Amino acid sequence: MAVAPRAVVVHRATPLEELVARHGTRGQAEFFLRSRGRTLDEVQGQHDRVQAALREVAGAIPLDWRRAGVERADLAGFPFGPQDVVVVVGQDGLVANVAKYLDAQPVLGVDPEPGVNPGVLVRHRPGDARWLLPRLAEGAAVPMRRLTMAQAVTDDGQQLRALNEVFLGPATHQTARYVLSGPQGRQERQASSGVLAGTGTGATGWLASVHQATGGGFRLPDPSDPVLAWFVREAWPSPSTGASLTAGLVGGPGALADAEVLSLRIESDSLVVFGDGIESDRLVVSWGQTVRIGVAPSTLALIG
């Protein structure tokens, strides 16, 4: 007997919920805001819109489906399964937060506040779930985009994936030291504030700002292109370090072959590797280790 799909609704705590959790009660949260010339109404409206969207999505889940919910803070420990359909209710960044934990499960991005979020990844209104989820239950075709993901792999087998970008650098404001090897065989010992490599999805965020600040020199990839753009941040030229190999493209789907990756041999005591701005979920690498960054073998299946 076939196992029924499971709808996993992903959300994050609203500012109102965070305030109440921090101050203990709604009254204390209101007092805190009033003491700073603010009112609870500012966050109450957003909270109500998000809750209404979550109720509408819950009502759209087919009755014979299993269902579960997970808050962003608990994503790392949540057991996603192969039959899951993931419904993300929130900002675009929440889709990126969940993408690294998935393996081909379809994702429906729902925007609870149209006009407030850019809507790049949360492209649907809450009411769209009423016709999209039943179509998935029936096995009917729905519009689907396959978005490229980035991946970092260490020489001791640690792995990390990201939808927008991967960052390697110091956890503090100290200097990262490493030997960078590009896909064309060029190599340079560098001292910098870190290396950023991202996808076409990430090209609308952090990558875009770095690309603009450095003057570009090449076109950023599209979200489905199996290519990453990479940048060295604030490379420092010195007698022992260079600053000529600071940006480029690296591509190629499938395995992280040497010709398709950016390779960094670490020459610092401790550097971190994290994805999509979530530094709490990170890899730690140290002197002598090698990190390879390239296109991940899996993609994000985004509905719509």
Per residue in 49-88, pLDDT tens?
Answer: 999 999 999 999 999 999 999 999 899 899 999 999 999 9
**Structural domain includes residue 189:** yes
Beta-strand relationship, 262-266 and 290-303:
antiparallel
Same domain, 287 and 158: yes
Q: What average pLDDT score do residues 225-245 get?
A: 93
Same domain, 214 and 81: no
**Structural domain includes residue 257:** yes
- State pLDDT tens for residues 193-209: 999 999 999 988 888 88
Beta-strand relationship, 282-285 and 106-110:
unpaired
Same domain, 283 and 204: yes
Q: For residue 71, give the CATH number of its domain.
A: 3.40.50
Catalogue the E-assigned strands of the chain. 6-11, 66-71, 84-89, 106-110, 144-154, 159-162, 165-169, 176-181, 187-192, 194-198, 227-233, 247-251, 262-266, 271-275, 282-285, 290-303
Number of domain units in the chain: 2
Domain-terminating residue out of 108, 142, 176: 142
Lowest mean pLDDT, pick from 161-165, 196-200, 213-217, 280-284: 213-217
pLDDT at 239: 94
| 3-state class (DSSP) for residue 146 | strand
Same domain, 161 and 138: no
Q: Half-sphere exposure of residue 204, counting CA atoms within 13 Å on the CB side?
A: 11
User: Around Cβ 139, how many Cβ atoms within 10 Å?
Assistant: 6
pLDDT at 1: 46
Residue 254 has pLDDT above 60, yes or no: no
Domain of 290 in residue numbering reads as 148-297
Same domain, 169 and 287: yes
Percent of the chain, pLDDT > 70? 96
- State pLDDT tens for residues 122-135: 999 999 999 999 88
